Each structure stands twice: as structure tokens, then as C-alpha cells.
Structure 1
Amino acid sequence: MTTHEQNMRMTRVGADQPAGQLLRRYWQPVALIEELEDIRPVRPVKLMGQDFVLFRDEQGRYGLLDRDCPHRGADLAFGRPEHGGLRCPFHGWLFDVDGKCLETPAEPETSRLCQRIRQKNYPVVLRSGILFAYLGPLDAATGKPPAFPDLDCFVAPDSHVFAFKGHIACNWLQALEVGIDPAHASFLHRFFDDADPEANYGRQFRANSADSDMPMTRVLREFERPQIEVERTDYGMRLFALRQLNDDSTHVRVTNLLFPQAFNIPLSAEMTITQWHVPVDDTNCYWYAIFTSFAGPVDKAEMRAQRLELYELPDYIPRKNKANNYGFDPLEQKTQTFTGMGNDINVHDQWAVESQGPIQDRTREHLGSTDKAIVNYRSMLMKAIDQVEAGTGVPLMVLDAETARTVRGPVTVDGVAPTATWKAYWREVDARKRRNAPWAAPEPQAAE
């Protein structure tokens, strides 16, 4: 049973809140690179309750600054990107990506005010189409932020990754937890008919399982009681959802929790999804996903076009939402899908987590045996929150450069295995996928 106090400790993300202090120890997605590629490479960003301005200067460097100008508090999100930095339109003060004041042009020529001014800045890096920022304390010994692990989504070349995002109107934790709940897919994402996988490129649960001509839609529909197993790993958790098809064959689905707030799942036999749930504030979040292909290059135009059918620019707001009942159609619910909310699983997940309220009241829930990954994750989360609060130890996945190189993969699988040897099967499928990849896909270490 989760108490009210525990629920608040896990969900509140302000800088003075326990979970907020933990999440600031990790790189957080703040924007897609395409959001800074238009005529004006400046965007306001709200992350964990704080307001920032993100921009790209003429040299192609990225900066994230506090949004209020240190002169008189004007909004730097309306600033002019010019002359090596971002200029406040109020009095022309100019700041570079490091927060250094370059000019205070209205001041007398002899003024030294500029030398004493510095705007708070935060490290920004580009990885696989997403700009990540770091808001937390730097390492005491190196003066650097944590290192990025060698995950597949960061190692793959740009041609083999595609990034997208979408807004969800609820707390980040309930949005994340749907991704470590393997049982829900047999219901929330149930389709009454199976579509042609070739005509559904880039869509979740539409591909055939590996080593089988059985589409995932059929597996989920006909075998709705998975046996779920959970393993702790050096990156978080590995989840197994086992659906025994007959005496000889078992469907094996391997997914992962990347601590603290991402999950990693198979899209198809040749593509994976790594997805973060990033707090805007306590009651809103964005999901950021990187799709990684182990076969041919990703068709980015097709993937983007599919998703823009459901999300409206510039803020990636869902076109289906609470205001229009998520597109609910009772006839569709009776004849085509379990939810009656269309064939995109993002809409299904969005309804499920938004319907729990802005912040789910976990004191009222009754968890079952299939929720074991959620129970494990909350235990890990509370331990890490307590570590940061007490100042003892290094939380999981706060990595130095040497350790980061050993955190690889992870493995994702949707396949039909011989029942007796399923534990060896998923590793063999992953090794085969990596051997055949056109880029150097690093093998996860055995101790993973």
C-alpha cells in the first residue's frame, strides 16, 4: 500500500521536492532538434516546474538559460539570437550559451557592469535528434555532469534513429508506469482483426513476432494472461512477459525499465523504442521517444507523417484528448478495438493515464501479481530519493565515463520460443539481430 506521503515524495518535481532533487541528477530531454531548425531557433522550455529559454547561436551551439533576464526580469524567450548569443529586447543585454554577459549596450562605454553579470546556464547536448539538458549538481571531482550510457539509441547512426514527442496532461510517474505494465497490452491495445504488417510500418503491435508468422495483435488478443518475471539490472529492470501458446511454444516479450524514467520496448523484430517521460510540472509531462532500427535506415518522413496525424505543432499537443473524449466511438469499441479510441496505442495510453487524474491517488489502488514491475520500480525510486535526500551513495544510473561505456543495449524481443529453452532463446535472437545490423550494435554485457 502506497501512503499519501510516499505518493507525494515520488511525484512532486519542484527543485525543493525529493523526487525533483533526484530527477535533476539525470540528463532530461528538453526539445527535439527540429524545434530549433525553423526561422527562429529560440524556444521557451518548462522542465520540472522551472522556466528556461533554449536557443541555438550562429555557431550552432546550444544554450539553456533561466528565462528571466537578470537585468529587470523580462522574458528572454522573446530574445533576438544574434552576435554570439541571445539578446534581450528590453535593453539589449546579450548572453552567450554559457550565460556570460557579452554586452550591456545602453550602459556608458566605461561601464563594467557586464563583467559582473552572469545568467544561470545549464549543459545541453544533442543525442539522436533530442536535445538533453542537465539541471543538477556537477561531479565534485571532475566538475562534469553524468556521462551518457552506450545505449543502442545513442550509438546508432542518425540514419537509423528517429525522434518524436507528445504531451500528456498528467503526472510523469503514472505516464511512465504504463510502460512497465506488460499485462495491459492484451486489453488496452486489443485489436479484433489483424492488419497486414507490411502496410503498418512504424506502428506498435502490428508486426509479426520473431520466428513466427503470428502477428502481435493475435498474440495479445488470444493469450491475455501473461506470466511476468522481473530481473534487476545495472540499468534498472528487465521484464519478461511469457504467453504459452501450446506445449511446445511460448511467446517471449522482453522489455526494460531504464532508471529513473525511461522504458525500452520492441516495436518490431528490427526496431526498438526508447521512451522517456519528462515532467513539465507536477501535472503535465512529455514523452520523448527514439526509434532505433537494426535493419535498414528509418523512413523518417513516414514516421513523422504518421505521428503528426495525432499531434499538433508547435507544442505537440494530442488532437485526441479529454475535450473530445479521445475520439471514442462506441461502434468501433463493439466491432474493432477494445477501447473504441482508434488504432494508435499512444491515444490508448494517454486516456489510461490521464483518466487517473492529474496525480494518481495511489492510496486507492489495489495492485495485483501482474504489477510486480511497478512494485519493484517504486521501491527503487524511493531508495534513490532517500539516497539523494540523505546525501549517501550514488543513485542508480548516475554514471561516470568509464561505467557509462559498460551500460549497453538493452535487449528487446518479441518472439516465439521453444517453451523449454526460452531463457536461451531471447539472448540468441538479440545476438542475431546485432550481428545482422548494418551499424556496430554493441552487445550487452553478460552481467547486465
Structure 2
Amino acid sequence: MLSAEQNELITRTNPGTKAGNLLRRYWQPAALVEELSSNRPIKPVKLLGEDLVIFKDGQGRYGLIARGCPHRGTDLAFGRLEADGLRCAFHGWKFDVNGQCLETPAEPEGSKLCANIRQKSYPVVEKSGILFAYMGPGEPPAFPNFDCFVAPDEYTFAFKGLIECNWLQSLEVGIDPAHTSWLHRFFEDEDPSKSYGKMFRDSTSDADMPMTKIMREFPRPRIEVEQTNYGLRLNTLRQISDKSMHVRTTNLVFPNAFMIPMSQEMTISQWHVPIDETTHYWYCIFTSFGSKVDKDEMRRQRLELYELPNYVPRKNKQNDYGFDPYEQAHETFTGMGADINIHDQWACESMGPIQDRTKEHLGQSDKAITAYRRMLRAAIEQASKGERPLMVLDSDKAPAMTGPVCVDGVGPAADWEGYTRNAHENRRKTKSWANGH
């Protein structure tokens, strides 16, 4: 249980807030690359409470600048894209990807006005189908050599979805290993050969057992939480027999991402990024260690559930998340369909726009959440003092940060830790693109 002041501290992320200042010290997803793949690559975005516009100029450079023109405040999302920048449709002022005003054409010949005009701007880089922005002070941190960032493009797929509540609610669901046995419980198991692109529908590694069966039949796991140089490693252990243990290794990547196994071939890297303090997007990179990703099929599956252009879930609070009482009685624990993102969305949004953590009662199964909250509050304090918080990486340290370990399999109960290390190393050694990373 937190105090009201502590809850305010860790949830508020708009400009000028302490948690917002912390999140701005990291690269944050701002848009999907495919959102700027049309013949007019420009899109308004709201990120950490700031109204911005992201665009690609005629030279292929990405820019992220404040949405209101500094001349008279008109909307640059309706501007004209040109080879070297974005031109306001009101008076023709033009800005490059760094926010520098290039032209003020209505001014007298020889005017120097534009030389002194610079629109607020943030650097943007492309990583595995996501456009990341850095909104903090000084030089941006380096990216770690995590699998999702170093895998070739054909082995990754990126997507996003809107959730209408505070970002922290979703992040905390992602580091809660106990909920999967209940919220994502299926009463029948699918054929694993038909599980492509679906979470928890494959068989677990090194055992002929569907993940859904393990989650359903072993609902009281032992959870081990380990602090690492990137955040937290969570080992969730389910005793299958005297000799065998199901091990699921997931990760909290500080400050607002988690990385988890999706299937025997794929992992998920997911960020929860504030739009403002009561809405956010989840951004995902699906990374394959096996065959190349079937991007068309992955996109088709998800567009059945999310509506463009704003990636709004088709099942949402307005239609009770598709709740079906017959399904709840006979097929799934929630009665909200087979997509676990909808289950998580309901759980997060039903807590309210900003969860009141002064009323909760945490138990042993919530140990990762309590560990993360302590870590978050400590980092907020560090950032407030001008110190370097966890995972703000120098370029000399970032290359050595690899992985992290994501395992879902059954191994010997007497040496589950050794099994986890071996399973991780074997995956990396047997996948050609991962050699050397």
C-alpha cells in the first residue's frame, strides 16, 4: 500500500513532474514506422503530455517537433511536407527536423527573423519498426544490445495499442506473473500447430504440455525476484512433479518496459508509454529466434482487434470488452475472447484512470511490483538530484548489455537455474542471426 503522495509521485508524467522528468531520460516509443509509410508521412502525436508532430522529410529524415507553430500557434500537423522540412499552411514558415526555422516568406526581403526561431524538437531514431524519441536533457543514452534491437528486420514485427488509463497500471500487470493463471485461463487447449502469433498458445519447451494447461493446472507459482543491471529478472516456478519444474523467466527493463517469452520461437518486448496521465500506448517488438516473422499474418491478426489510424481496441469499455457470459462459463476465465491484450486492458482500465494504490492489499505474489516501486521511487529521486539513474547507458557500457534471458520450459526441479541458463544459451547458439550477440 502506498500513501497518496507516493502514488502521485510515481504516476504523474506530464511536463514538470518528477516521474515525467525521469521517463524523459530514456528513449521512448513515439510512433510505429508504418504510421509514416504513406505518401504523406506526418502524424500528430501526444507523448508525456506534450502535443507534437512527427514527420519524415523528403530526404528520409525523421523529425519530432512541437505541434503549434511558433508564429501564431496554428497546427503544424496540417503543414506541407517538403524536401528539407515542414512548412506551416498559415504563413509558410518552414522548419527542419531539428526545429530550426528555415524560412519566414511573408517577412520583408532580407529579414533575419527565421535565424532566431527554433521550434521545440526532439531527436528520433528507428529501431525494429518503432520510432523512438529522446525528450530529456543533454546527450541521449545509448541503446543496449538487446535481442529486439539487434535482430534483423525480417525477424521482428512491431505493433501498438491504446489503453485508457495511467501507464503504470499496465506496466505493473506486465510484471505480475501470478495473474496469468487466472486472467488468461483457457478451459480448453488449442492445437499448438495453430498457435502462430498468439500468446500462451504454444507448447512449453522441453515438454509436451501446452502453456495454457500449465497456467491452468498450476495456479500457485513460486516467484523469485532478482535485481539486475537492467532492472528485475523474474523467475516464476511451477512444480510439475517431484523431478520437473516449469520455469518462466521474464524481465522488467527499467523504467517502463518488460520482456517476456511468447512462444518457443518468439519473445515480446513491450513498452508502456504515457500519452498523458490517463491514457497510454503499449508498443511491442515481437522477435523471432526461429523462422522469419510473417509480418502480414501478424498484422492481419492484430488489425482484427485494433482499429486504425489510432490503434483503438475494437473491444473496449464502451462494449464491455466483448464480454460473453456463456464464454465465461465454458471457454475462458474472463469471457472476453482469446486475445490476452484485451484481458489486460480490462484489468488495467477497470482500476480507474489512475489507480488509488492507498486502498490495495499486496501479498507475496506481488513481490515484483513492490520491488519495482521501490526502484522507481529511488530513480525519481536520483533524477531529481541530477544523478544518473539505472539504464541511462553510456556508449561504452551499452554493447555489453545483451539478452535478456526469456525462457518458458520444463526442466529438472533440482537444477532449474542451470536449466534456465542452458535454455537461454542454446536458443542463442542455434539461431543464425543471434551468433555473436
Residue-by-residue CA offset, 1:109-162 (whole Å, 9 max, x unaligned): 121111121111110000000000000001xxxxx2111111100000000000
Same amino acid, percent of matched pairs? 65
Contact 2:154/2:293 (<8 A) preserved: yes
Aligned residue for 2:116? 116
**Against the structure 1 CA distance between its residues 231 and 406, is the aligned structure 2 distance closer, same or farther, given a 3 Å change threshold?**
same
Question: Secondary structure at the residue paired with 1:275?
Answer: strand
Residue in structure 2 matched with residue 245 of structure 1 by the alignment? 240
Q: Is 1:337 aligned with 2:348?
A: no
Quote the Cα distance in structure 2 between the aligned partners of 1:110 and 1:29: 40
Match for 2:185: what amino acid? R
1:368 aligns with 2:363: yes
Q: Which AA in structure 2 matches 1:406?
A: A
Contact 2:59 2:83 in 1 (8 A): no
Q: Does 1:94 align with 2:88?
A: no
**CA separation in 2, counterparts of 1:34 and 1:119?**
25
Instruction: Give the Cα separation in 2 of the matches to 1:14 and 1:293.
Output: 35
Q: Of residues 264, 267, 270 in structure 2, which corresponds to 1:272?
A: 267
8 Å contact kept, 1:29–1:130: yes
4+ residue runs over 6 A deviation: none
In the alignment, what sits opposite 2:425? 431
Q: Deviations over 1:294-315 (max 9, x none)?
A: 0110010010100001100000
Matched with 1:70 is 70
* Structure 1 residue 408 corresponds to structure 2 residue 402: yes
SS state at 1:356 partner: coil
SS at match of 1:125: strand
Q: Post-superposition shift, 1:441?
A: 4.7
Q: Distance in 1 between matches of 2:412 and 2:185?
A: 25
Can you give the 5+ residue segments of structure 1 that lack an aligned partner in the other structure? 139-143, 444-448
2:192 aligns with one of 197, 204, 216: 197
SS of the equivalent of 1:417 reads strand
Distance 2:83 2:191 in 1: 54
> In structure 2, which of residues 129, 144, 149 is the aligned counterpart of residue 149 of structure 1?
144
Are residues 281 and 55 of structure 1, via their aligned partners in 2, closer, same or farther at CA, if it must alter by over 3 Å? same
Look up the match of 1:24. 24
Partner secondary structure for residue 210 of structure 1: coil
Contact conserved, 1:328 with 1:340, CA < 8 A, in 2?
Answer: yes
Does residue 1:418 correspond to 2:415, yes or no? Answer: no
Shift, 1:276, TM fit: 0.1
CA change 1:291–1:441 in 2 (3 A) is: farther
Q: For 1:47-89, what per-residue CA distance to the aligned partner results, in whole angstroms no more than 9, with x for missing partners?
A: 0110111000011000000111111111111111014100000
The Cα RMSD (Å) is 0.8
| Counterpart in the other structure of 1:309 | 304
Looking at structure 1, the residues matched to 405 and 146 of structure 2 have their Cα atoms a distance apart, in angstroms, of 10
Counterpart CA distance in 2 for 1:285 and 1:100 is 29
Residue pair 1:127, 1:154 contacting (<8 A) in 2 also: yes
2:203 maps to 1:171: no
Name the aligned partner's letter for residue 89 of structure 1.
Answer: A
Give 1:390 shift.
2.2
Q: Residues 393-440 of structure 1, C-alpha deviation per residue, up to 9 Å, x if partnerless? A: 310000010111121110100000111111100110111111111203
Distance (Å, rounded) in 2 between the aligned partners of 1:182 and 1:298: 26
Residue 229 (structure 2) pairs with residue 234 (structure 1)? yes
State the distance in 2 between where 1:422 and 1:37 align: 45
2:82 paired residue number? 82
Deviation per CA, 1:2-27: give whole Å up to 9, x if none.
00000000000012111001000000
**1:394 equivalenced with 2:388 (yes/no):** yes
Measured after TM superposition, the shift of residue 442 of structure 1 is 5.0
Q: Provide the rounded CA distance (Å) in 2 between the counterparts of 1:405 and 1:20.
A: 27
> What is the Cα deviation at residue 234 of structure 1?
0.3
Match of 1:446 in 2: none
